[in-house]
């Protein structure tokens, strides 16, 4: 129901400001300590240092944590629709920066050139262009709109001069008689370390929301939250479970994503600098550069369906950061097809539907659930869904905590 994550790495970029509470040591921002009861592996420990190192950017001011701040659910610490990066912090991204939480179960991309778009699954980034967190980590390092390192040699020199450079040999012990890793190998070790950090550190996937407590029998939903879940699952009302199943078939924590792709017809965001060009369009999946997607015009406008965990804490929504509140998003779903003039511009009395796609590709936009003029979603339903979605936020204090205001 909520296609709200962009791709910081090949589109979304790191902001030109340090996270709140940045450490005084140049190049290393502060971070909340890991809450894991199990020590991180040597590779993951190295990955955490790399994650926090601002020196690994062209500007020397941006780290992974700048765009994916642990204090902001590993998302951006501001409400900009896209972030600003580059060597001189003058380059705007083209997609909203995502949270890095709950990516550990995202499967590799599956599908062939003959697979229907509706059946494609997996892959990281908003367009599914890579399959692993290690591959993903390399994208912002070399993106000129983001950390802008230019090439592997430039980044490798920074890694070799870092205070933690000696940790590479301990985290990745060389074979007897092997020479020191070359530039590409060192960068690959760094990306592997980042992957292990994201997989091992529980802050990236705590599964400790109120929803999880209820699933474990340790808490109960309020009446409003219960109604919200009912509307969320109702195919005639919210129909949110179409893309965000609220159950798990294998006793694993609920992911709240089908791992597929959706074309929602999100309105064009005029605030994006890239959109000053009326002919510039972010076409999503059909631009992923995967060989199986080449020439697949029917995949244009599709973006990866993210998890809804921590959805209330997103500063902006959808791949282009068009909306700034969760209530706006829900109302867009409820009224896109019944009151399109509320969302799209009107020219000469004609509503310009799906204006962030070229006219020739607008037929790709989904018209079925959770959309459609026959859906019956009231203001009360929207309020209840909001109450339920707030139960998906990490860090639930316990059953003595009262529901959010208006969610009793």
Q: What is the CA radius of gyration of the chain?
A: 22
Phi/psi of residue 387, each to 5°? Answer: -60, -45
Please answer whether residues 189 and 172 qualify as being in contact, where contact means their C-beta atoms are separated by less than 8 angstroms.
yes
**E strand intervals along 224-351:** 261-262, 303-304, 346-347, 350-351
Please answer whether residues 403 and 224 qualify as being in contact, where contact means their C-beta atoms are separated by less than 8 angstroms.
yes
Element (H, E) at 387: helix 379-389
Q: What is the largest CA-CA distance in the chain?
A: 75
CA gap 35, 381 in Å, rounded: 37
DSSP 202: G
389, exposed or middle or buried, with CB in 10 Å at 0-12, 13-18, 19+? buried
DSSP 280: -
Could you tell me where the DSSP H helices lie in 57-125? Answer: 64-67
Q: Which residues face 75 on adjacent strands?
A: 69
Q: What pLDDT, on a 0 to 100 scale, did the predictor assign at position 372?
A: 82
Phi/psi of residue 351, each to 5°? Answer: -70, 130
Q: What pLDDT, on a 0 to 100 scale, did the predictor assign at position 374?
A: 73
Which residues lie closer than 8 Å to 209 by C-beta, 6 or more apart?
A: 309, 391, 392, 393, 394, 395, 396
Q: Kindly give the confidence (pLDDT) of every residue in the chain, 408 residues in length, as a single tens digit, with 9 standing for 90 and above.
A: 444 333 343 333 333 333 333 333 333 333 444 445 689 999 999 999 999 999 999 999 999 999 999 999 999 999 999 999 999 999 999 999 999 999 999 999 999 999 999 999 999 999 999 999 999 999 999 999 999 999 999 999 999 999 999 999 999 999 998 999 999 999 999 999 999 999 999 999 999 999 999 999 999 999 999 999 999 999 989 999 999 999 998 889 999 999 999 999 999 999 999 999 999 999 999 999 999 999 999 999 999 999 999 999 999 999 999 999 999 999 999 999 999 999 999 999 999 999 999 999 999 999 998 998 877 789 999 999 999 999 999 999 999 999 999 999
Q: What pLDDT, on a 0 to 100 scale, did the predictor assign at position 38?
A: 85
Of 73, 85, 62, which Cα lies nearest the Cα of 12? 85
Conformation bin of residue 234: beta by default, left when phi > 0, alpha when psi is -120 to 50: beta
Of 6, 130, 74, 150, which Cα lies nearest the Cα of 63? 74
Conformation bin of residue 89: beta by default, left when phi > 0, alpha when psi is -120 to 50: left
Q: Return the HEC string of 49-68.
A: HHHHCHHHCCCCCCCHHHHC
Q: Which residues face 85 on adjacent strands?
A: 91
User: What's this model's pTM, rounded to 2 decimal places?
Assistant: 0.90
Helices (H) and strands (E) in the chain, counts: 10, 6
CA gap 234, 195 in Å, rounded: 37
CA gap 99, 313 in Å, rounded: 10
3-class state of residue 124 by DSSP: strand
CA gap 128, 124 in Å, rounded: 5
DSSP 71: G
CA gap 169, 172 in Å, rounded: 5
Structural domains of the chain, with CATH? 42-204 (1.10.760.10), 210-392 (1.10.760.10)
Q: What pLDDT, on a 0 to 100 scale, did the predictor assign at position 19?
A: 31
Packing angle, helices 183-200 and 152-161, rounded to 10: 70
Which residues lie closer than 8 Å to 300 by C-beta, 6 or more apart?
A: 263, 283, 284, 285, 286, 287, 357, 361, 364
381 CB neighbour count, 10 Å cutoff: 21
């Amino acid at each position: 129901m909520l296609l709200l994550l962009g791709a910081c790495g090949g589109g979304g970029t790191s902001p030109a400001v340090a996270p709140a509470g940045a450490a005084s040591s140049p190049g290393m921002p502060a971070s909340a300590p890991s809450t894991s009861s199990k020590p991180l592996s040597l590779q993951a420990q190295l990955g955490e240092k790399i994650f926090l190192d601002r020196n690994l950017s062209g500007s020397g001011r941006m780290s992974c944590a700048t765009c994916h701040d642990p204090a902001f659910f590993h998302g951006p610490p501001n409400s900009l629709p896209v972030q600003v990066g580059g060597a001189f912090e003058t380059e705007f991204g083209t997609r909203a920066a995502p949270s890095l939480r709950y990516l550990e179960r995202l499967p590799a991309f599956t599908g062939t050139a003959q697979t229907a778009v509706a059946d494609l699954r997996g892959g990281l980034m908003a367009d599914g262009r890579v399959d692993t967190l290690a591959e993903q980590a390399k994208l912002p390092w070399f993106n000129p709109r983001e950390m802008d390192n230019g090439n592997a040699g430039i980044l490798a020199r920074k890694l070799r001069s870092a205070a933690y450079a000696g940790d590479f040999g301990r985290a990745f012990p060389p074979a007897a008689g092997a020479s020191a890793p070359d530039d590409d190998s060192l960068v690959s070790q760094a990306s592997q370390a980042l992957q292990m950090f994201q997989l091992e550190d529980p802050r990236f996937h705590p599964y400790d929301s109120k929803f999880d407590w209820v699933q474990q029998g340790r808490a109960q939903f309020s009446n409003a939250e219960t109604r919200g879940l009912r509307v969320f699952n109702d195919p005639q009302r919210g129909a949110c479970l179409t893309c965000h199943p609220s159950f798990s078939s294998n006793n694993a924590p609920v992911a709240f994503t089908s791992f597929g792709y959706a074309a929602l017809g999100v309105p064009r965001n005029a605030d994006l600098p890239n959109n000053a060009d009326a002919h510039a369009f972010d076409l999503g999946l059909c631009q992923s550069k995967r060989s199986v997607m080449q020439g697949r015009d029917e995949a244009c406008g599709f973006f990866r369906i993210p998890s809804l965990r921590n959805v209330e804490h997103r500063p902006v929504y959808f791949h282009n950061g068009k909306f700034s509140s969760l209530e706006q998003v829900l109302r867009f779903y409820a009224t896109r097809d019944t009151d399109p003039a509320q969302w799209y511009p009107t020219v000469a009395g004609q509503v310009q539907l799906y204006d962030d796609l070229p006219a020739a590709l607008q037929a790709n936009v989904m018209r079925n659930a959770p959309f459609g003029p026959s859906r019956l979603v009231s203001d009360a339903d929207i309020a209840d869904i909001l109450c339920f979605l707030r139960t998906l936020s990490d860090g639930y204090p316990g059953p003595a905590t009262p529901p959010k205001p208006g969610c009793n």
